[in-house]
């Protein structure tokens, strides 16, 4: 089942890939609000489980133990949708994202192919923290958007992009 709050910016999916999946989202740049909403919901779930005599399984070595192996670790999967038409015309964005510790997917609509709309997300979940993940996404996306803005202004970013790809 899928459940949501009244604002429809927090969704809880039960028994799909994992026993519980929480999604916090909104249009815009307020990552703090998105993360805070998710953290409060997660803490509320943990508290309710403890009140019923259960707990979320956690390993010091592996992080949170979940049923979907790709979510092992923090279980945090953060993603942002950004437009990179100039950067995607100049370089291979998925390869560049991998060098920045991110993954990316060109969204699959005809509009996305024209305006370079990518979903950019964290690549690591094991042996890291939620704060490191969020900071990595924000830092990587800011770097991508800075290159995009400079390209839109007609500036050359080839040397910086090549240096990032070579790193």
pTM for this entry: 0.78
| pLDDT tens per residue, range 62-73 | 777 777 777 777
Mean pLDDT of 10-17: 87
| pLDDT tens per residue, range 106-160 | 887 655 556 888 999 988 877 788 888 889 999 999 999 999 999 999 999 999 9
SS (H, E, C) the chain: CEEECCCCCEEEEECCCCCEEEEECCCCCCHHHHHHHHHHHHHHHHHHHHHCCCCCCEECCCEECCCCHHHCECCCCCEEEEECHHHHHHCCHHHHHHHCCEEEEECCCHHHHHHCEEEEEECCCCCCCHHHHHHHHHHHHHHHHHHHHHHHCCCCCHHHHHHHHHC
Say if CB 115 and CB 125 are below 8 A apart: no
Token pair belonging to 12: 């809880």
Mean pLDDT of 19-29: 87
| pLDDT over 70, % of the chain | 96
Alpha-carbon separation of residue 48 from 41, 44, 147 (angstroms): 10, 6, 45
State the pLDDT at residue 126.
Answer: 76
């Amino acid at each position: 089942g899928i459940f949501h709050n009244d604002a429809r910016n927090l969704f809880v999916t039960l028994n799909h890939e994992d026993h519980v999946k929480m999604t916090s989202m909104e249009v815009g740049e307020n990552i703090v609000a998105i993360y805070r909403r998710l953290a409060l919901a997660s803490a509320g779930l943990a508290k309710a489980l403890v009140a019923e005599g259960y707990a979320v399984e956690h390993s010091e070595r592996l992080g949170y133990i979940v049923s979907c192996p790709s979510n092992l670790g923090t279980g945090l999967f953060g993603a942002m949708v950004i437009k990179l038409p100039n950067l995607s015309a100049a370089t291979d964005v998925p390869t560049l994202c991998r060098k920045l510790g991110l993954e990316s997917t060109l969204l699959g609509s005809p509009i996305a192919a024209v305006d370079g709309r990518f979903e950019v997300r964290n690549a690591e979940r094991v042996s890291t923290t939620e704060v490191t993940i969020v900071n990595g996404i924000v830092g990587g996306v800011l770097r991508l958007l800075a290159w995009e803005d400079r390209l839109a202004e007609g500036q050359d970013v080839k040397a910086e992009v090549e240096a990032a790809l070579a790193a």
